[in-house]
Amino acid sequence: MAAETAGPKPGTAAWWLAREDEPARQRRRRSLTLEAILDASMTLLDTGGAAALTMRNLAEALGCTQASLYRHVRNREELVTLLVDRALDVASSAPPEDADWAGKAAWSARLFREHLLRHPGVASLLRGTERLGPNSLAGVQYSLELFIGAGLGPRLASAASSALATFVIGSVHFNLGLDVSDSEESRHRRLLYRSRDASALPLLVEHADVLSEVGSDDVFEAGLTALLTGFRVLIEREGGTRD
Amino acid sequence: MAAETAGPKPGTAAWWLAREDEPARQRRRRSLTLEAILDASMTLLDTGGAAALTMRNLAEALGCTQASLYRHVRNREELVTLLVDRALDVASSAPPEDADWAGKAAWSARLFREHLLRHPGVASLLRGTERLGPNSLAGVQYSLELFIGAGLGPRLASAASSALATFVIGSVHFNLGLDVSDSEESRHRRLLYRSRDASALPLLVEHADVLSEVGSDDVFEAGLTALLTGFRVLIEREGGTRD
DNA sequence: TCGTTATGCGAACGCCGTTAGCTTAGACTA
DNA sequence: TAGTCTAAGCTAACGGCGTTCGCATAACGA
């Protein structure tokens, strides 16, 4: 079919980052596809972590040379952008319909976080790049929908949804920082805790046992519910006083 | 004086990360000091951003060779840890005494964020490293103090303070992602926004003008007040029902 | 059938962090 | 004061990274 070779379809990753200078022609002539590259990248990420995603490793996994990769991807950064966005298609699964806006927001936030934690490599890629791909935009649209539907004006709704996203991504980063290389890292951390004399940080020493029990799940839940109840209060107040 | 040459003093950065295997002897013999290295690193960061902080640049700025740096610092990572912690001495400036706990928390959070934004290089270093130096620990201690004083149990107080820190750091990262390389980056972002047809993301298109006006300051303030009012509600509820 | 051109490859460039091995200056001991 | 020891500097290099240049080639449009 002619439509088969008419270039990347709207909605696909290739379509989004299509080079502007390049007319929409067919691009694959032989074996190496952008999709194949992304697949191999995801495999590398899931098995070896973010550090394993090098162009050399990628080329070796695909059985090609590094230079060939650059026929399909401008940069490593573009590759990362595409990867992150591909991994962010979580928004497609809809939250339960019977929940109110806060319930839906919490559901989505938890889902998003769990998804990121399940693919730690992708999550650590979120550190470098802040670009917005199509799926990210869909997520923004969705949470905007929620907050506007709840009664916030578009301006406040946008701020609220960005704040929520900021917190979710931030706590994933927080998680990753804790889990990386347990053996050496936590040893060092414990060393720091102990080497300080008790007089300077009394609370830390006094509740050291409790503090070490507080995991990132607790932090996430505490922050999430606090944020949402905060927004709820804001909505009630704004709805009442028309501020 | 003998006390003058008795190694790094307690409280200094050198003292914190002193090698365990190495007995506390005097370490500096000639010119190149750890403090000088940290100073030069901060200059590099403030002028050229995080990317400029390479061991080569650092050595050149100090007029020594790269290898010499490793006599004072184990890794680049240790250097980063020390730098971040040095930049985190904001906690030493106390918030206004007449404010309540939420006011103090908000004050500190704003101060912390502004400080990080003033030194963007340091902030982007926060991405890679999650180690806790002495100043970071002091900050944790302080916010713990606030939340416990407000009426939260140590467990919840710890979660709340971590959540707050997560949000603050997260929003700084958010900021940096937006501001980096305006020329090319924002052009690309605008391209992404426009190339999507209006039918798929109606809200984004409808409120595009308002959305573009919502800056990271708004996002930060919205999230901060939401978090704090959320915690306030939690405290009232917990204080009432002893949950 | 024959150019055009997208797509692969080999080889290299310049950057990065890091290390091994030497020299030397300064502090300690006798 | 003379001698020793060692921290602190240097030279040179290693391996890995992302990226690019130039060439070969296979598929498509005419």
Point out the residue among A127, A134, A230 whose CB comes nearest to the CB of B229.
Answer: A230
Decide if pLDDT at A20 tops 70.
no
How far is B243 from B236, CA to CA, in rounded Å?
11
Asked whether the beta carbons of residue A159 and residue B228 sit closer than 8 angstroms, the reply is no
Number of structural domains (chain A) is: 2
Distance in Å, residue B79 CA to nucleotide C17 C1':
13
Q: Do A207 and B166 touch (CB under 8 A)?
A: no
Q: What is the pLDDT of residues A172-184, one digit of tens each?
A: 877 765 444 333 4
* Bases of strand C lying below 7 A from some protein CB: 6-12, 15-21, 25-28
pLDDT for residue A31 = 77
How many cross-chain Cβ pairs, A to B, lie less than 8 Å apart?
A: 206
Q: What pLDDT score does A26 carry?
A: 42
Question: A152: which residues sit within 8 A by CB, 6+ positions away?
Answer: A160, A231, A234, A235, A238
Tokens of A178: 């804790």
**Same-domain pairing of A118 and A71:** no
Summarize the confidence of residues A169-194 as an average pLDDT.
53
| Top-confidence residue, A58 or B237 | A58
Nucleic strand D under 7 Å from the C-beta of B57: no
User: Contact B226/A223, CB-based, under 8 Å?
Assistant: no
Residues A163 and A230 placed together within one structural domain of the fold: yes
How much is the pLDDT for B172?
A: 85
Q: Is A224 among the domain residues?
A: yes
pLDDT value at residue A50: 83
Least confident window among A3-17, A30-44, A135-149: A3-17
pLDDT for A64? 94
**Same domain flag for B116 and B226:** yes
Residues A64 and A130 occupy one common structural domain:
no
Boundary of a domain, candidates B87, B112, B131 = B87
Q: Is the CB of B72 under 7 A from strand D?
A: yes
Of B132, B213, B233, the CB nearest to A192: B132
Per-residue model confidence (pLDDT) at position B19: 41
- Assess whether A24 and A74 both reside in one domain: yes
Decide if B220 touches A, using CB distance below 8 A: yes
8 A C-beta contact, residue A67 and residue A32: no
Assess whether A28 (CB) lies less than 7 A from strand C: yes
Q: Is residue A56 part of a domain?
A: yes
pLDDT tens digits in sequence order for chain B, 243 residues long: 333 333 344 344 444 444 443 333 344 456 789 999 999 999 999 898 888 999 999 999 999 999 999 999 999 988 988 888 887 776 567 778 899 999 999 999 999 898 888 887 777 777 655 556 667 777 788 888 899 999 999 899 999 998 999 999 888 887 765 544 333 443 444 444 444 445 566 666 677 777 777 788 999 999 999 999 999 999 998 754 444
Together in a domain, A131 and A66: no
Same domain, yes or no, for A168 and A234?
yes
Q: What is the pLDDT of residue A130?
A: 52
pLDDT at A230 over 70: yes
pLDDT higher at A82 or B232: B232
User: What is the nearest nucleotide to A55, using C1' and CA?
Assistant: D18
Residue B31 CB closer than 7 angstroms to strand C? no
Task: Select from B43, B61, B87 the last residue of a domain.
Answer: B87
Tell me, yes or no, whether B69 lies in a domain: yes
Subunit contact B210:A158, Cβ cutoff 8 A: yes
- Which residues of chain B make contact with A148, given a CB cutoff of 8 A? 203
Assess whether B112 and B219 both reside in one domain.
yes
Calculate helix-pair angle for B216-241, A154-179, nearest 10 degrees. Answer: 80
Cα–Cα separations (whole angstroms), residue A78 to A18, A74, B142: 11, 6, 41
Query: Does residue A7 belong to any structural domain of this protein?
Result: no
Whether residue A138 has pLDDT greater than 90: no
Is residue B187 assigned to a domain?
A: no
Place of tokens 């926060």: B126
Residue A29, CB, strand D, below 7 Å = yes
Q: Based on the domain organization, do B219 and B136 belong to the same domain?
A: yes
Residue B241, pLDDT score = 45
Residues B164 and B230 in one domain: yes
CATH number, domain of B55, equals 1.10.10.60
Give the pair of three-digit tokens for residue B226: 């939401």
The token duo for A99 is 């929940």
* pLDDT average, residue stretch A5-15: 40
If asked whether residues B221 and B108 sit together in one domain, one would say: yes
**Are A46 and A124 members of one domain?**
no
Cβ contacts of B58 within 8 Å, gap of 6 or more: B37, B40, B41, B44, B66, B69
- Chain-chain contact of B154 with A211 (C-beta, under 8 angstroms): yes
- Structural domain ending residue among the three candidates B64, B87, B110: B87
Q: Give the CA B27 to C1' C25 distance in Å.
A: 14
Instruction: Assess if residue A61 is contained within a domain.
Output: yes
Residue B237 in any domain: the answer is yes
Domain range spanning residue A132? 101-178+215-241
The predicted pLDDT at position A218 comes to 92
CATH number for the domain harbouring residue A145: 1.10.357.10
Return chain B residues 128..157 having CB < 7 Å to nucleic acid strand D.
none
Question: What is the pTM assigned to this prediction?
Answer: 0.74
- Decide if A185 is inside a domain: no
* CB distance B113 to B123 below 8 Å: no
